[in-house]
């Protein structure tokens, strides 16, 4: 069993695939808005502390668990002697499943906009909000709704590409795609950064991102930064355990974790330094939005006013597209790897079946944005039972509850049950020396679980809009 388990073909292949998972819509589209909300420099500073102190120990643990167990996300815990933690794996698996349903649809929207900027940027500029709503099945002028077939087809296309790559396997598909996609992403990012930083009027935006306003350093900002870090690093959802299980014993988990986290953070920070100054320069600070529509609606104003805007707009969505693809692929791999191993199913039909089901559930996500009044259900102690739109309920459930629960399970497992000694032993396989054993143990036993419990408590008790 262990011998025929797939492995990464090269060190770089793994790093790029793991970074590909981490670098996603979260970095480029969520991070800048949150950084703005959190006061720019203040948020940035907090985020830069959270990643090494909480993100890195968690990622290292997940990779070590996967590599030591050589198994999928659910069975790994049992293989390491603690069957009682299988629930952690189930939650992680379920998170990956639910997130893929909507993430792949947002990928479809991004694909739609990539095509829009290539072919009809004028239409987008003419009425950015109207264009966005129209894509989602709502005609604001007529006040009527309709099933948004075109964007559903784009989402189907997006899902099909992801499934195709998964079917090609770990080395031949995932690794190979990331080796092209990730460098392409970096190049586009740098081009866009230069474009944004050289816009007249970009300076106040840059200044905002660099100055620390102490009044913005609040517990709320800290929590937003913390949950953003988990989401952005792809923690608490089956992925790093699965990817770790494909990692050869000779690889240095600590160093790889450091590189993946650094790349992910770098992309987020660069995205912040690109989007915020560009919005300041064109629309002013009021132009920075937080919600999902931001990347689609407000940025249209930015590209419209920027010389060469349609081209840079196209590049921007291409960037988002690569980021979304590599992340979705990692999500689907976590789901499929489990089914293949557990049920003995074949890779190709499993991928197709799972992809189809997730696409169909995702249709409810896209349609509940504006076209159809599909509701979900949500509970918190402040507001009681509420019925938010189905799309919001999905995001609440994963981001506020399930990811923290799974991450907490991993921390407790690594810190208290399997013990940090075993994690470090796994890290030191192949003669590698890991010099931070004490620090790691402290962080994974106390700091990370405490922080996660606070996120959960805040979500449940205050009904806050952490995402």
Any contact of residue 26 with ligand PHE (CB under 6 A)? Answer: yes
What is the Cα–Cα distance from 205 to 286, expressed in whole angstroms? Answer: 12
Q: Which of residues 184-243 bind ligand PHE (CB under 6 A)?
A: 231-232, 234, 237, 239
Residue with Cβ nearer ligand PHE (63 or 424): 63
Least Cβ distance, residue 14 to ligand PHE (angstroms): 16
- The correct pick among 327, 351, 366, 467 for binding ligand PHE (CB under 6 A) is 327
Least Cβ distance, residue 439 to ligand PHE (angstroms): 25
Per CB under 6 A, the segment of 18-26, 127-135, 382-390, 412-420 that binds ligand PHE is 18-26
Least Cβ distance, residue 398 to ligand PHE (angstroms): 8
Least Cβ distance, residue 26 to ligand PHE (angstroms): 2
Site string for ligand PHE, 72-101 (x = CB under 6 A): ---------------------------x--
Least Cβ distance, residue 441 to ligand PHE (angstroms): 26
- The correct pick among 14, 18, 20, 24 for binding ligand PHE (CB under 6 A) is 24
Q: What is the sign of the dihedral through the CA atoms of 334, 136, 110 and 275?
A: negative
Least Cβ distance, residue 404 to ligand PHE (angstroms): 13
What is the Cα–Cα distance from 152 to 109, expressed in whole angstroms? Answer: 9
Per CB under 6 A, the segment of 7-15, 168-176, 286-294, 326-334 that binds ligand PHE is 326-334
Residue with Cβ nearer ligand PHE (25 or 318): 25
Residue with Cβ nearer ligand PHE (21 or 76): 21
Residue with Cβ nearer ligand PHE (101 or 237): 237
What is the Cα–Cα distance from 145 to 167, expressed in whole angstroms? Answer: 37
Residue with Cβ nearer ligand PHE (134 or 467): 467
Least Cβ distance, residue 395 to ligand PHE (angstroms): 11
Per CB under 6 A, the segment of 21-29, 141-149, 355-363, 378-386 that binds ligand PHE is 21-29
Q: Which of residues 246-305 bind ligand PHE (CB under 6 A)?
A: none
What is the Cα–Cα distance from 297 to 289, expressed in whole angstroms? Answer: 9
Site string for ligand PHE, 329-348 (x = CB under 6 A): -xx-----------------
Least Cβ distance, residue 145 to ligand PHE (angstroms): 29
How far is CA 266 from each of CA 87, 196, 327, rounded to the nearest angstrom? 33, 17, 16
Q: Which of residues 94-133 bind ligand PHE (CB under 6 A)?
A: 99
Residue with Cβ nearer ligand PHE (17 or 196): 17
- The correct pick among 8, 19, 21, 174 for binding ligand PHE (CB under 6 A) is 21
- The correct pick among 25, 111, 135, 259 for binding ligand PHE (CB under 6 A) is 25
**CB within 8 Å of 264: residues ≥ 6 apart:** 19, 22, 23, 27, 232, 233
HEC sequence for the chain: CCCCCCCCCCHHHHHHHHHHHHCCHHHHHHHHHHHHHCCCHHHHHHHHHHHHHHHHHHHHHHHHHHHHHCCCCCHHHHHCCCHHHHHHHHHHHHHHHHHHHHHHHHHHHHHHHHHHHHHCHHHHHHCHHHHHHHHHCEECCCCEECCCHHHHHHHHHHHHHHHHHHHCCHHHHHHHHHHHHHHHHHHHHHHHHHHHHCCCCCHHHHHHHHCCCHHHCCHHHHHHHHHHHHHHCCCCCCHHHHHHHCCCCCCCHHHHHHHHHHHHHHHHHHHHHHHHHHHHHHCCHHHCCCCHHHHCCHHHHHHHHCCCHHHHHHHHHHHHHHHHHHHHHHHHHHHHHHHHHHHCCCHHHHHHHHHHHHHHHHHHHHHHHHCCCCECCEEECCCEEECCEHHHHHHHHHHHHHHHHHHHHHHHHHHHHCCHHHHHHHHCHHHCCCCCHHHHHHHHHHHHHHHHHHHHHHHHHHCCCCC
Question: For the chain, what is the radius of gyration of the CA atoms?
Answer: 21
Q: Which of residues 360-419 bind ligand PHE (CB under 6 A)?
A: none
Least Cβ distance, residue 76 to ligand PHE (angstroms): 17
**Total binding residues toward ligand PHE, as defined by CB under 6 A:** 15
- The correct pick among 15, 19, 20, 27 for binding ligand PHE (CB under 6 A) is 27
Residue with Cβ nearer ligand PHE (161 or 239): 239
Least Cβ distance, residue 331 to ligand PHE (angstroms): 5
Binding site for ligand PHE (CB under 6 A): 21-22, 24-27, 99, 231-232, 234, 237, 239, 327, 330-331
């Amino acid at each position: 069993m262990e011998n025929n388990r797939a492995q990464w073909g090269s060190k770089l292949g793994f790093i790029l695939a793991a970074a590909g998972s981490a670098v996603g819509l979260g970095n480029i589209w969520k991070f800048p808005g949150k950084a703005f909300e959190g006061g720019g420099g203040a948020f940035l500073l907090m985020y830069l502390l959270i990643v090494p102190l909480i993100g890195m120990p968690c990622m290292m643990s997940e990779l070590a668990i996967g590599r030591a167990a050589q198994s999928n996300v659910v069975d790994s815990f049992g293989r390491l002697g603690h069957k009682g933690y299988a629930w952690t794996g189930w939650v992680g698996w379920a998170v990956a499943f639910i997130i893929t349903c909507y993430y792949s649809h947002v990928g479809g929207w991004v694909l739609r906009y990539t095509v829009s900027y290539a072919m009809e940027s004028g239409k987008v500029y003419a009425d950015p909000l109207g264009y966005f709503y129209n894509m989602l099945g709502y005609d604001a002028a007529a006040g009527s709704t309709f099933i948004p077939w075109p964007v559903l087809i784009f989402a189907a296309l997006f899902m099909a590409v992801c499934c195709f790559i998964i079917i090609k396997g770990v080395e031949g598909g995932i690794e190979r795609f990331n080796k092209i996609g990730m460098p392409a992403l970096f190049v586009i990012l740098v081009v866009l950064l230069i474009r944004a930083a050289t816009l007249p009027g970009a300076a106040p935006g840059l200044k905002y991102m660099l100055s620390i306003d102490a009044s913005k350093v609040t517990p709320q900002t800290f929590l937003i930064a913390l949950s953003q870090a988990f989401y952005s690093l792809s923690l608490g959802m089956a992925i790093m355990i699965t990817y770790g299980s494909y990692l050869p014993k000779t690889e240095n988990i600590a160093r790889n974790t450091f590189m993946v986290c650094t790349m992910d953070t770098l992309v987020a920070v660069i995205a912040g330094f690109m989007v915020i100054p560009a919005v300041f320069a064109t629309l002013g600070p009021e132009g920075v939005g937080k919600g999902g529509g931001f990347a689609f609606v407000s940025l249209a104003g930015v590209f419209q006013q920027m010389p060469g805007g349609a081209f840079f707009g196209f590049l921007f969505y291409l960037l988002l597209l690569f980021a979304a693809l590599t992340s979705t692929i990692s999500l689907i791999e976590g789901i499929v790897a489990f089914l293949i191993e557990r049920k003995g199913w074949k890779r190709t039909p499993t991928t197709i079946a799972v992809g189809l089901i997730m696409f169909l559930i995702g249709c409810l996500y896209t349609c509940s944005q504006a076209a159809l009044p599909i509701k979900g259900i949500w509970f918190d102690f402040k507001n009681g039972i509420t019925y938010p739109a189905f799309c919001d309920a999905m995001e609440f459930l994963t981001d506020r509850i399930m990811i923290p629960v799974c991450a907490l399970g991993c921390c407790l497992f690594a810190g208290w049950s399997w013990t940090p000694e075993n994690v470090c032993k796994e890290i030191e396989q192949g003669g590698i020396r890991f010099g931070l054993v004490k620090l790691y143990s402290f962080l994974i036993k106390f700091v990370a679980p405490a922080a996660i419990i606070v996120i959960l408590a805040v979500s449940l008790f205050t009904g806050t809009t952490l995402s």
